[in-house]
């Protein structure tokens, strides 16, 4: 391949990185993406291609460098030059007022403003930026010395690898909390249970466990996020108030929790605490209280700190919601891959505004550890805000005849023997034809992130399986309306709708089908990675463990799981039949290769607003016709496409004598070239 002028490539790479960073910021920090995931992936892929071709232009702050990194042996120590202090806790409004009285006394009774923030239940980290580049990420540790977890924190998408803005400070340490959203936590735990791994007790443990992994590739697969709430060491910037710190952090591209509030007196602080005690369930992440900070940094400095905590801040902890109730029964559920999960059926009880009538016990190790028995009174807590957790048994209240719960030796659904895989906590039913497993597999296949088949919930699936109409996921595509109409609660309308929904699902694409197959360790992200590399499920079926581990982000365990799955003839047969019934198993992008590519070999630059196409649409139009779109005009540019209010690109194109087209001209060009 002919190498292009290095400067021009560097320019293009830089422009791409700028664009990608902006979209990452819009997506992860602002929650307001301007382009689709597909378009974002296209940008990232183009950058990857260019960097692969010009490795000398790869820089550590490139958005492509988030995933990867070799596992480190152990963590190096990081000494926090500005210590990461902890906070004194309060539990009542009265204690907040005492705190305020102390603060004002020490400041000679001058007026004091406070900033209230939500206290995020995660893991405290410190991010060091030098000249705007993220150079180190560390855990809090004991507050003075933490662990160097830079490669892991680099995989957290909401942590910018580079600060936004033209003139970043020479040194800036950002302090914040890495956390996991409640829904992500539950998904991760469900997956871990299916994989026979011990689940995390709560989102905080999940976040902390994920940051402190030795393999950053695993961290990369965990849905971690950051809220920044302060600064440590800094040079070349000064702030007057904490509110200003939060604003500047936002300007530098860091995610700052939007619910902070400046309060002009302690009564406003108390109201904020009361408000969030009520409202905390609205949040998609766990908060365990409110942090109250003196707003003026000059006042903070005068107040100073004790060895352990600052005198200018305090945390107000929300009351913990716990409740006691009686275990009516312990049931065993069978998951998609045969994992047996014990579940406590409870005397309904009100916790945190919700009636709780069951609790997961995760696995049989947990049942043994708690020694929870039918008839026991247990202490419950809502972890992750949603799933209630059994903290322990109130032994005084145990009925004299309560028996230890036996570890099952047979599957409660099909009666087959169960097996415990060495090294796993899970107990599995190994009968592939187990009807309970089959139901779960089909529910999973039909679920929203997989084939998204409307109307095919657990009850319908149970009916189809029990009637013998569906023995594997491919059978769904053989269903006819006359089969369905014979089922209970199935009229002509609902049967027609279901058939139509199944039909529509055929076009979801290979990544969704692959995820739907329910291969252990293959979640939505891994499915996308695999399909991106192999283009189709049939191609993936032939891959070896070595082929798979070559893909960044795919480790040994995932690779073996995939290879093992496709080594089973019955699984290969399911895929073959899915294809036969018209389910799309190939990327459309590949199919496109066969379409005419009238703009092949031509490079375009866009500037200004086009009358009918957005920038992204115009880009897609050109790319689908086989052309390339780059950000800046160089001698390699074939055409500049110009709209209203063009930028400096127009002038540069004129200087270089590059042909200029308007939107209509572009469309004409495509048409002319398509006709040869
Ligand atoms: S400020 C000296 N702000 O709570 C200031 N901390 O016990 C100390 N935390 O280790 C931190 N949300 O892990 C601060 N908005 C917030 C916070 C927060 C959570 C955690 C942090 C810290 C602990 C303090």
CATH of the domain at 390: 2.40.50.140
Closest CA to 502 of 464, 540, 530, 532: 464
pLDDT at 287 over 60: yes
User: Phi, psi at residue 258, to the nearest 5°?
Assistant: -75, -10
pLDDT at 436 over 70: yes
In this prediction, residue 625 has a pLDDT band, given cuts at 50, 70 and 90, of confident
Residues 19 and 133 both lie in one domain: no
For 69-81, the pLDDT digits (tens) are 333 346 888 999 9
Cα–Cα–Cα angle for 396, 402, 403, nearest 5°? 130
CATH of the domain at 279: 3.30.470.30
Residues 89 and 211 both lie in one domain: yes
Residues 57 and 105 both lie in one domain: no
Confidence at residue 443, expressed as pLDDT on a 0 to 100 scale: 95
CATH of the domain at 515: 1.10.150.20
Q: Whose CA is nearest to atom 9 of ligand 1?
A: 119
Residues 369 and 489 both lie in one domain: no
pLDDT at 85 over 50: yes
Mean pLDDT of 531-535: 88
Residue 435 token pair: 């009807």
Residues 277 and 360 both lie in one domain: no
Residue 672 token pair: 């002319």
Q: Give the atom of ligand 1 at the shortest distance from the alpha carbon of 122.
A: 13
Residues in CB range of 61: below 8 A, 6 or more apart? 133, 134, 161, 162
For 364-396, the pLDDT digits (tens) are 988 988 899 999 999 888 755 566 888 888 888
Q: Give the atom of ligand 1 at the shortest distance from the alpha carbon of 85.
A: 2
Report yes or no on whether pTM surpasses 0.75. Answer: no
Confidence at residue 70, expressed as pLDDT on a 0 to 100 scale: 36
Residues 119 and 242 both lie in one domain: yes
User: Does residue 429 sit within a domain?
Assistant: no
Q: How buried is residue 577: exposed, middle or buried, by Cβ count under 10 Å (0-12/13-18/19+)?
A: middle
Q: Whose CA is nearest to atom 13 of ligand 1?
A: 124
pLDDT at 43 over 60: yes
pLDDT at 591 over 50: no
174 alpha carbon to ligand 1 midpoint, in Å?
Answer: 12
Residues in CB range of 417: below 8 A, 6 or more apart? 409, 410, 411, 430
Q: Give the atom of ligand 1 at the shortest distance from the alpha carbon of 89.
A: 7
Mean pLDDT of 566-587: 94
pLDDT at 60 over 80: no
Mean pLDDT of 233-237: 95
CATH of the domain at 20: 1.10.287.610
8 A C-beta contact, residue 133 and residue 161: yes
Closest CA to 246 of 231, 268, 263: 231
Mutate to test the pocket of ligand 1, among 87, 118, 211 (most ligand atoms within 8 A of CB): 87
User: Does residue 512 sit within a domain?
Assistant: yes
Alpha carbon 128 to chain centroid, angstroms:
23
User: Does residue 422 sit within a domain?
Assistant: no
Q: Give the end of a domain, one of 42, 65, 88.
A: 65
Q: Whose CA is nearest to atom 24 of ligand 1?
A: 86
Q: Give the atom of ligand 1 at the shortest distance from the alpha carbon of 121.
A: 19
pLDDT at 535 over 80: yes
User: Does residue 419 sit within a domain?
Assistant: no
Residues 169 and 268 both lie in one domain: yes
pLDDT at 32 over 70: no
119 alpha carbon to ligand 1 midpoint, in Å?
Answer: 6
Residues 120 and 260 both lie in one domain: yes
228 alpha carbon to ligand 1 midpoint, in Å?
Answer: 10
Exposure string for 390-421, b = 16+ CB within 10 A, e = fewer:
beebeeeeeeeebeebeeeeebebbeeebeee
Residue 456 token pair: 């095919």
Confidence at residue 73, expressed as pLDDT on a 0 to 100 scale: 47
User: Phi, psi at residue 151, to the nearest 5°?
Assistant: -60, -35
Mutate to test the pocket of ligand 1, among 124, 143, 173 (most ligand atoms within 8 A of CB): 124
Confidence at residue 3, expressed as pLDDT on a 0 to 100 scale: 61
User: Does residue 412 sit within a domain?
Assistant: no
DSSP H or E run through 155: none
Residues 56 and 91 both lie in one domain: no
Mutate to test the pocket of ligand 1, among 83, 88, 91, 120 (most ligand atoms within 8 A of CB): 120
pLDDT at 587 over 90: no
Helix count and strand count (H, E) for the chain? 25, 22
175 alpha carbon to ligand 1 midpoint, in Å?
Answer: 9
81 alpha carbon to ligand 1 midpoint, in Å?
Answer: 17
Confidence at residue 68, expressed as pLDDT on a 0 to 100 scale: 36
Mean pLDDT of 198-216: 84
Q: Whose CA is nearest to atom 2 of ligand 1?
A: 85
Alpha carbon 50 to chain centroid, angstroms:
27
350 alpha carbon to ligand 1 midpoint, in Å?
Answer: 30
Confidence at residue 490, expressed as pLDDT on a 0 to 100 scale: 87
242 alpha carbon to ligand 1 midpoint, in Å?
Answer: 14
Mutate to test the pocket of ligand 1, among 84, 118, 119 (most ligand atoms within 8 A of CB): 119
User: Does residue 245 sit within a domain?
Assistant: yes
Mean pLDDT of 455-472: 93
CATH of the domain at 652: 3.40.50.10190
Residues 182 and 283 both lie in one domain: yes
Confidence at residue 113, expressed as pLDDT on a 0 to 100 scale: 97
Q: With helix as H, strand as E and coil as C, how does 171-205 read? A: EEEEEEEEEECHHHHHHHHHHHHHCCCCCCCCHHH
Specify the number of domains making up the chain: 5
pLDDT at 589 over 70: no
543 alpha carbon to ligand 1 midpoint, in Å?
Answer: 47
Mean pLDDT for the chain? 88
Share of the chain above pLDDT 70, in %: 94
Q: How far apart are CA 127 and CA 123, in angstroms?
A: 13
Q: Give the atom of ligand 1 at the shortest distance from the alpha carbon of 123.
A: 13
Q: Whose CA is nearest to atom 21 of ligand 1?
A: 124
User: Does residue 423 sit within a domain?
Assistant: no
For 490-530, the pLDDT digits (tens) are 888 999 999 999 999 999 999 999 999 999 888 887 888 89
For 96-135, the pLDDT digits (tens) are 999 999 999 999 999 999 999 999 999 999 999 999 999 9
> Residue 220, SS3?
helix
User: Does residue 592 sit within a domain?
Assistant: no
Domain containing 569 equals: 435-580
Catalytic residue positions, numbered: 119
pLDDT at 607 over 80: yes
Residues 240 and 274 both lie in one domain: yes
Residues 91 and 49 both lie in one domain: no
Q: How far apart are CA 246 and CA 439, in angstroms?
A: 49
Confidence at residue 327, expressed as pLDDT on a 0 to 100 scale: 96
Q: Give the atom of ligand 1 at the shortest distance from the alpha carbon of 118.
A: 15
Q: CB under 6 Å to ligand 1: residues?
A: 85-87, 117, 119-120, 124, 140, 177, 229-230, 291, 310, 313, 315
In this prediction, residue 579 has a pLDDT band, given cuts at 50, 70 and 90, of very high
């Amino acid at each position: 391949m002919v190498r292009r002028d290095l400067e021009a490539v560097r320019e293009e790479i830089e422009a791409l990185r700028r664009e990608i960073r902006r979209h990452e910021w819009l997506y992860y920090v602002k929650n307001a993406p301007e382009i689709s995931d597909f378009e974002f992936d296209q940008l990232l892929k183009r950058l990857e291609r260019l960097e692969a071709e010009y490795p000398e232009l790869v820089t550590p702050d490139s958005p492509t460098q988030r995933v990867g990194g070799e596992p480190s042996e152990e963590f190096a120590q990081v000494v926090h030059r500005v210590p990461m202090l902890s906070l004194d806790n309060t539990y009542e409004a009265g204690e907040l007022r005492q705190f305020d009285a102390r603060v004002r006394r020490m400041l000679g009774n001058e007026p004091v403003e406070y900033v209230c923030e939500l206290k995020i239940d995660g893991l405290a980290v410190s991010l060091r930026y030098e000249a705007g580049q993220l150079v180190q990420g560390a855990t809090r540790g004991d507050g003075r010395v933490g662990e160097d977890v830079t490669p892991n924190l680099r995989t957290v998408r909401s942590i910018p690898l580079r600060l936004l803005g033209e003139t970043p400070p020479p040194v800036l340490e950002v302090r914040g909390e890495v956390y996991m959203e409640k829904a992500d936590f539950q998904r991760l735990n469900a997956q871990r249970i299916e994989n026979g791994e011990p689940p995390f007790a709560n989102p905080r443990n999940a976040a902390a466990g994920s940051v402190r992994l030795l393999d950053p590739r695993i961290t990369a697969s965990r849905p971690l996020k950051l809220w920044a709430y302060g600064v440590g060491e800094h040079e070349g910037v000064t702030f007057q108030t904490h509110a200003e710190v939060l604003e500047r952090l936002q300007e530098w591209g860091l995610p700052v929790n939007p619910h902070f509030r400046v309060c002009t007196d302690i009564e406003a602080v108390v109201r904020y605490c009361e408000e969030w005690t009520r409202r905390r369930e609205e949040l998609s992440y766990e908060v365990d209280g409110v942090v109250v900070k003196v707003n003026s940094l000059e006042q903070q400095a005068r107040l100073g700190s004790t060895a352990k905590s600052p005198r200018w801040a305090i945390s107000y902890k929300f009351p913990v919601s716990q409740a006691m109730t009686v275990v009516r029964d312990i049931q065993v559920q069978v998951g998609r891959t045969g994992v047996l999960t014990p579940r406590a059926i409870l005397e309904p009880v009100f916790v945190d505004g919700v009636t709780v009538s069951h609790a997961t016990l995760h696995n049989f190790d947990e049942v043994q550890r708690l020694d929870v028995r039918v008839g026991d009174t247990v202490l419950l807590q809502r972890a992750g805000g949603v799933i209630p957790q059994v903290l322990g048994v109130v032994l005084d209240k145990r009925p004299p005849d309560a028996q230890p719960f036996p570890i099952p030796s047979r599957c409660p659904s099909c009666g087959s023997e169960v097996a415990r895989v060495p090294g796993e906590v899970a107990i599995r039913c190994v009968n592939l034809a187990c009807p309970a497993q089959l139901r779960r597999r089909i529910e999973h296949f039909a679920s929203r992130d997989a084939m998204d088949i409307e109307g095919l919930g657990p009850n319908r699936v149970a009916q189809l399986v029990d009637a013998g109409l569906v023995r594997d996921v491919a059978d769904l595509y053989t269903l006819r309306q006359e089969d369905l109409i014979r089922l209970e609660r199935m009229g002509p309308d609902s049967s027609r709708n279901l058939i139509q929904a199944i039909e529509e699902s055929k076009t979801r694409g290979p990544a969704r089908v692959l995820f739907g197959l329910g291969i252990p360790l293959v979640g939505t992200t891994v499915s996308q990675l695999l399909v991106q590399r192999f283009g189709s499920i049939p191609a993936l079926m032939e891959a070896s463990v070595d082929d798979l581990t070559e893909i960044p982000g795919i480790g040994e365990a995932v690779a073996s799981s995939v290879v093992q799955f496709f080594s089973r003839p019955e699984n290969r047969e399911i895929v073959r039949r899915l294809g036969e019934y018209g389910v799309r198993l190939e990327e459309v992008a590949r199919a496109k290769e066969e379409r005419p590519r009238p703009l092949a070999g031509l490079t375009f630059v866009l500037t200004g607003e086009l009358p009918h196409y957005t920038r992204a649409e115009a880009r897609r139009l050109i790319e689908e016709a086989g052309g390339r779109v780059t950000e800046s005009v160089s001698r390699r540019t074939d055409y500049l496409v110009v709209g209203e209010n063009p930028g400096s690109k127009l002038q540069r194109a004129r200087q270089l004598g590059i042909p200029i087209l308007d939107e209509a001209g572009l469309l004409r060009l495509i048409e002319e070239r398509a006709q040869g």
